[in-house]
Structure 1
């Protein structure tokens, strides 16, 4: 795939959208090529005191503890190196990193995912980690899921060393299924009987007015994420050449209409008004108000801690005539350009992504480890909850991510999601919402490609 470069205006505009606020500091794109120059060992790997700053988002206690352990491990291996964490709420991440880059003081390592990787890659702000790996006899990418490496590689450049991934699945309440006389969900991604028709039938059987007051008490389904279903239906937000909106394709329109109908026609998914003040999809699920919802593997940790909740997971349902789609969000860490300690940053990335760290991903954080042999071991696949953890792992051959083009966050946040929300609320038809979003997508892409 060809990677263009965000204009300065769109770079700042996109960062503000993601960060949830305005970013006003002057921030010119980082100059230079996108490769990594690995310094001579004697030049960079000295015994002089080194202070590394690792940039993260998320401030949950288990995240902070994990990062403290990683820093301790770095110092244990290299006594002259001190690694500190700079952890900020997710909404502040973009602004924090951009401010540091603008000031000429980038962090030495930074967390990346499906959203931030293309964003910072588009600014040529990240080093290619392949030269570091090629020069390091202790490291190989072969231990990671090949599809993650494939999806993260653009024009021979790889900027993220993966640590974990979050395949999307259907979480379901087994007790509610039993009450409705339903069997557990299939576990195979290739099972074509688990399709959009059977999914709707299942959701209808689960939707109930249990107290007879004329209002729905249990909804069969809640979809906090619409993009996986767009991909399941064979559509995407961009055209194949990434030059224009793809939402107007027959496949995309049909998928979006099917999603809107779940709520507006079939009544199996709640409207925002119907669940106002009741919390997130996960909250509704644990309260027994929603029988199924979609999320990544991050749902495992919180649901496992809910006593008495009988739940499991199944694959995403297939659309008619479409192959299985294992939509996922992977994450890891990269090295920003401008760091004065790139080789030490690489050593830290090796610790952040090693076996011990991957075991932490599985057992403490709850995500699927990026190292295949750890994911398929007792550290993840062998854990008792949910019973069919293999569903997460079996999605790997079907792994897909959202487009890796640099302005994708701006496209999603500014152009598409506001319009589709109106369609899912019934305030616009799907066709009108797509027609309104399309020109905005095309405008962002034209500025990005320089057309």
Structure 2
């Protein structure tokens, strides 16, 4: 009898073991994704956090877009955290403190996060979800957030730097409107004709590019130059860079077509955007944001044109934090945010240029009116974007350059001393 009971107990234990094994294969043996996460359950409710900068209006637009995303992914909820102040420092504190967001908005310094392994490469997720990056983005925009040959972000907003010009000033001077086919010489010729003096005093300047890095850098790339060679060695001391910097200084101190630091001070130390709105300059190159400002200004007849030659794009993108436990769900969100439907609220808000090919060429964008005025919005899609020299030491690089260029643009240092000194500083930084 005892033998029979023993046999029954053994059989029962074997059955339990088999059932437990089957149960483990079904529920506890995860199907891993490329990033090591458990494969997303489409029915499981998931809460994500997205960090961004900007205004309350920016946050409102993002929430509108996330409401659109939720129609496709009802199981994913995204809480938006608007970070005020030093965005990078606060986000880094969150990551270091073990409370990282899942999705981060990042701009030019995304490579800093990528080099620190704080955000993930998206290539496997892009492939797994069947996203055609060449269809979604133009080639220059789609690759703008790549690092070491991999995608680290889905570009969300991306507006090229374009030319704003005063049509009445051009008409009065008999000068043809700006064109993407202009050369730098044709730009300078036009700027000279558009500069107006009353006695010895200049009252209207033809073109004010300013000394901000996008201004001088685009001239370098228009000249066929770059800041790094194919081996990623700095190439600041080159004829292409020298010619670009010389042209900028000559426009202020030789030709008088741009403002000098003294003239800027006399006008209240205000930037190119308000000077254009006041009718002080005939041309400037700046970003999408100036459209919204000018749409509120009366009495100025303006339009926009693509930049002559190559230019840069102001952008931000959506990235996935490595320490997030929901890589797959996070990707579904950022992928959905870059579909046409979810990009339309960016256009409707009039705050920025959308990044995707479908959105920036859409009827909603092309035919948008600002202040009751229709302008040449094709200027953005027609712009040619150069490959910006973004790298993990971007901030340090710009400090080396800006410390010296600031003196040069006040005409208190020679071109040779400036370029040689910057080249030396960059060589030390990237050796």
* TM-score class, shorter: 0.7 to 0.9
Indicate conservation of the 8 Å contact 2:119/2:321, yes or no: yes
Counterpart residue number, 1:282: 273
User: Matches of 1:238 and 1:389 in 2, distance apart?
Assistant: 32
C-alpha root-mean-square deviation of aligned residues, in Å? 2.3
Partner of residue 57 from structure 2, selected from 40, 58, 62: 62
Counterpart residue number, 2:99: 105
After TM superposition, give the deviation of residue 366 of structure 1 in Å. 4.4
Indicate conservation of the 8 Å contact 1:311/1:386, yes or no: no
After TM superposition, give the deviation of residue 56 of structure 1 in Å. 1.0
Counterpart residue number, 2:252: 263
User: Matches of 2:174 and 2:83 in 1, distance apart?
Assistant: 46
Deviation string 1:71-118 (CA, Å, 9 cap, x unpaired) is 4445555555432222234x61111121112112221111122x1222
Indicate conservation of the 8 Å contact 2:37/2:325, yes or no: no
Counterpart residue number, 1:215: 201
User: Matches of 1:136 and 1:239 in 2, distance apart?
Assistant: 35
Distance 1:98 1:66, change over 3 A: same
Deviation string 1:263-319 (CA, Å, 9 cap, x unpaired) is 1211111123322325221111101112111112332222233233211122323xx
TM-score (ref. length: structure 1): 0.80
Partner of residue 285 from structure 2, selected from 282, 294, 310: 294
Distance 1:307 1:133, change over 3 A: same
Counterpart residue number, 2:163: 170
- 2:407 is the alignment partner of 1:411: no
- 2:308 is the alignment partner of 1:313: no
Indicate conservation of the 8 Å contact 1:375/1:393, yes or no: yes
Unaligned 5+ residue runs, structure 1?
1-34, 318-323, 447-451
Deviation string 1:161-211 (CA, Å, 9 cap, x unpaired) is 12221112211111121222222223xx3x2xx21222112111222235x
After TM superposition, give the deviation of residue 388 of structure 1 in Å. 2.4
User: Matches of 1:365 and 1:378 in 2, distance apart?
Assistant: 14
Distance 1:37 1:274, change over 3 A: farther
Counterpart residue number, 1:28: none
> What is the 5 A alignment of 1:7-22?
none
The structure with the largest alpha-carbon Rg is: 2
Indicate conservation of the 8 Å contact 1:70/1:351, yes or no: no
Counterpart residue number, 1:329: 314
Deviation string 1:111-135 (CA, Å, 9 cap, x unpaired) is 122x122221221211112222222
Deviation string 1:332-362 (CA, Å, 9 cap, x unpaired) is 2010110122222112212322212222233
The secondary structure found in structure 1 opposite 2:48 is: strand
User: Matches of 1:359 and 1:342 in 2, distance apart?
Assistant: 25
Distance 1:165 1:386, change over 3 A: farther
Partner of residue 246 from structure 1, selected from 235, 240, 264: 235
- 2:235 is the alignment partner of 1:273: no
User: Matches of 1:117 and 1:85 in 2, distance apart?
Assistant: 19
Indicate conservation of the 8 Å contact 2:109/2:390, yes or no: no
Distance 1:36 1:147, change over 3 A: farther
Indicate conservation of the 8 Å contact 1:126/1:336, yes or no: yes
TM-score (ref. length: structure 2): 0.83
Indicate conservation of the 8 Å contact 1:119/1:409, yes or no: no
Partner of residue 117 from structure 2, selected from 106, 110, 124: 124
Counterpart residue number, 2:172: 179
Counterpart residue number, 2:40: 41
User: Matches of 1:100 and 1:164 in 2, distance apart?
Assistant: 24
Indicate conservation of the 8 Å contact 1:37/1:131, yes or no: no
Aligned residues between the structures? 388
- 2:388 is the alignment partner of 1:392: no
> What is the 5 A alignment of 1:337-352?
337-352=322-337
Q: Could you tell which deviates more after superposition, 303-312 or 280-289?
A: 303-312
Indicate conservation of the 8 Å contact 1:74/1:83, yes or no: no
The secondary structure found in structure 2 opposite 1:333 is: strand
Counterpart residue number, 2:12: none
After TM superposition, give the deviation of residue 425 of structure 1 in Å. 0.7
Counterpart residue number, 2:78: 83
